[in-house]
Structure 1
């Protein structure tokens, strides 16, 4: 089951858009573009508040677990 987390690899600021893009299987750049348009159209207040709330609410992406990591001697 997929879990919504902030991206640790595809981030510009906090990984919110990257995490949403990975969760929805959409290019994170599309999510970023939609977010920027939304933020500009709402005169920045709503977009910034939503981003900060998501930054706080969505957990940071977990590090790669040892079971998924490639062998150290490879």
Structure 2
């Protein structure tokens, strides 16, 4: 399973949905639709998105020293 990071490519706003989709093995589009539909329900979805934007690290390109 991939680490929970925000990818550099495939972002729409901050990369939170793309990072969650990669982590759980679903498409980014599916994750975005699920998030948008969840916003129709009462709850802290938008606040959670903002918190993940701040807390999830950016994906770093690791370069080999070789």
TM-score of the pair, normalised by structure 2:
0.84
Larger RCO of the pair (alpha carbons < 8 Å, separation 6+): 2
- State which structure, 1 or 2, has the greater radius of gyration over its C-alpha atoms: 1
Displaced runs of 4 or more, over 3 A: none
User: Which consecutive residues of structure 1, in runs of 5 or more, have no partner in the other structure?
Assistant: 68-74
- With normalisation by structure 1, the TM-score equals 0.76
What does 1:1-74 correspond to in 2, within 5 Å?
2-42=2-42, 46-63=44-61, 65-67=62-64
Give the paired residue count. Answer: 64
> What are structure 2's unaligned runs of at least 5 residues?
none
